[in-house]
Amino acid sequence: MENFDLDREIARLILFQRIELLTPHQRKIRKLFGRYFFTNFFSKFFINPKEIGKKYFLEMVNEYNLLAKYINFENKKILSIGSGMCGLELIISSKSSGNSFSIIEKNYISKKIKYGWDQNNIEAYNNIAKLNIFLSNNGMMKTRYNIYDFDRDNLPSDKFDCIISLYSLDYHYDFKLYEDYFQRTFHQNSILIFDTIRPDYFLKLFDDVKIIASTQKKIHSSKRILCRGYKY
């Protein structure tokens, strides 16, 4: 795999999910005309899907290379929370075998993308039908994954080897939304990786908390942490 196959609507969703892929010109347009205009008009017509696909692919390869330093993805049962278009999951699938994915996502696009702290996890920018198309078009066999609508479906009750939530769990909404759920899905050797602005808080929830990366931004700087040994 050297690139992602995507259409204009999928490229638009990826921009909502990964704001860092915006060009400097697009950032200026968004700032000048506002987020509502950018979300509902500009992003529908004035984007380059091919360029977005290329940048998104490289971004996901970089994410994979970081995680692969700490996780052997062979034969793993993986839970992905708020994974967007699942570019990372496609890379993992292409580079390892015997794994399966349970994906928890939302299935609507908010009228005005805010990108801030959303206490109740109301904001959304995805389309599950498009996510299925994107995974299929890029080689993911349907037998290897299941998608769960956070607002409508019963969430998977399996025990997972690895739980991944990049720039989602405790980055946009409170970890407590999943606190009870993790009691059912963690086993003794489960690993959780996510981004947070408060890594020290999780020292009381896990036996082992390791910072594996840092993101420095003017707003919302964060640490990526790898956690083992859920205490609850």
Q: Say if 93 falls within a structural domain.
A: yes
Among 188, 194, 136, smallest CA distance to 166 is for: 194
In a 13 Å sphere around the CA of 64, the CA atoms on its Cβ side amount to 18
230 neighbors 192 (Cβ within 8 angstroms): yes
How far is C-alpha 122 from the chain's CA centre? 16
Q: How many CB atoms lie within 10 A of CB 108?
A: 13
pLDDT exceeds cutoff 60 at 23: yes
Q: Is residue 64 part of a domain?
A: no
pLDDT tens digits for 4-13?
A: 999 989 998 9
Spatial CA neighbour of 209 closest among 197, 185, 187, 193: 193
Residue 208 is assigned to a structural domain of this protein: yes
Distance of CA 31 to the CA centre of its chain: 24
pLDDT level of residue 108 (50, 70, 90 thresholds)? confident
Could you list the residue range(s) of the whole structural domain that residue 221 is in?
Answer: 72-230
Distance, in Å, from the CA atom of 178 to the CA atom of 81, rounded to the nearest integer, reads 10
Q: pLDDT per residue over 33-75, tens digit each?
A: 566 656 666 666 767 888 889 999 999 999 999 999 999 999 9
Tell me the pLDDT of the chain averaged across its residues: 89
Is there a domain that residue 32 lies in? no
What pLDDT sits at residue 43?
Answer: 64
Task: Confirm whether 63 is domain-assigned.
Answer: no
Q: What is the pLDDT of residue 113?
A: 60
pLDDT for residue 38 = 65
Measured between alpha carbons, how far is residue 136 from residues 6, 21, 130, 145 in Å?
Answer: 11, 23, 10, 11
Give the C-alpha separation, 9 to 4, whole Å: 14
**67 and 161 Cβ atoms separated by less than 8 Å:** no
**Whether residue 1 has pLDDT greater than 70:** yes
- For residue 137, give the CATH number of its domain: 3.40.50.150
How do residues 148-191 score in pLDDT, each as one tens digit? 999 999 999 999 999 999 999 999 899 999 999 999 999 999 99
- Residue 197 sits at φ, ψ, to 5 deg, of -95, 0
Residue 33 counted as domain residue: no
Per-residue burial over 129-152, b if 16 or more Cβ lie within 10 Å, else e, is ebbbbbbeebebeeeebebbebee
Residue 128 lies in a domain: yes
What is the reported pLDDT for 124? 81
The verdict on residue 44 lying in a domain is no
Give the pLDDT band of residue 116 (cuts 50, 70, 90): low
pLDDT score recorded for residue 97: 94
Alpha-carbon distance of 175 to 118, in angstroms, equals 11
pLDDT of residue 49: 86
Q: How many domains does the chain have?
A: 1
For residues 34 and 97, the model is more confident at: 97
Residue 210 has pLDDT above 70, yes or no: yes
pLDDT score of 81: 97
